[in-house]
Amino acid sequence: MKILVVGANGQVGKHLVNFIQKKENMEARAMIRKEEQASYFKDLGAEVAVADLEDEIEKIAKAAEGVDAIVFTAGSGPKTGKDKTLMVDLDGAVKTIEAAKQANVKRYVMVSSFDTSREAIQSAPDAFAPYIVAKHYADEWLRASDLDYTIVHPGGLTNNPGKNQVQLGEKVDRGEIPREDVARVIIAALENNATIGKAFKAVEGNAFVEDAIKSI
């Protein structure tokens, strides 16, 4: 299974490509914005495709040609303005969904925010609400597509070492999760077709990822 990792140069993305390359039945293609970012991925034996989420859909579709799945784990990040929230977190995400359709890639895993519900938008602090709005509409666009999607809603991301132990579910209390374990959850989702058409939250917990994913 070849997987296009969108946002490969992000912190979750790097863990993800690393893990994918270690799996026998998976290989990664890292979508990166600049050729200068390629060496990390080439050293892991992964393919790279240079494309930007602000590029046209056609260019992103070209980066997705021949893969079996797309994982969206990009984010405009806290250092950029709300303009990038609109252009990357919302429109960039939607363009990868449209690119998946163009490139005939059916499987799509979205890394969303912990709670992108209407209630979360209404109760969020002013500074955070626009980000949730962007993620909300990206999730909605994916749900309305005919892709084989899975939406992962991770808790607060940490750089703690992963434990491979999580709690997954539609309703779990807000918590943290190491980025490394988010990457593990994504891989487990890709390996379990029962996660297709599902959305679930992911925080650290007591169940091994490979077991927890079976309860979804």
Task: Name the phi and psi angles at 189, rounded to 5.
Answer: -65, -40
Per the residue annotation, which of 40, 131, 137, 149 is the catalytic one? 131
Q: How far is the CB of 163 from a second copy (least distance, A)?
A: 35
Helix (H, G, I), strand (E, B) or coil at 151: strand
Q: How far is the CB of 178 from a second copy (least distance, A)?
A: 29
Which residues sit at the interface with a second copy, rule CB under 8 A? 56-57, 81-83, 85-87, 90-91, 94, 118, 121-122, 126-127, 129-130, 133-134, 136-137, 144
Q: Which two tokens stand for residue 186?
A: 């994504």
Burial class (CB within 10 angstroms; exposed 0-12, middle 13-18, buried 19+) of 68: middle
Q: Which is nearer to a second copy, 134 or 203 (CB)?
A: 134
Taking the C-alpha atoms of residue 61 and residue 97, their distance in angstroms, rounded to an integer, is 9
Q: How far is the CB of 131 from a second copy (least distance, A)?
A: 8
Taking the C-alpha atoms of residue 32 and residue 152, their distance in angstroms, rounded to an integer, is 21
Q: Which is nearer to a second copy, 86 or 157 (CB)?
A: 86
Q: Which is nearer to a second copy, 8 or 133 (CB)?
A: 133
Cβ atoms 9, 30 nearer than 8 A: yes
Helix (H, G, I), strand (E, B) or coil at 208: strand
Question: Is 108 a catalytic site residue?
Answer: no
Residue numbers annotated as active site: 131
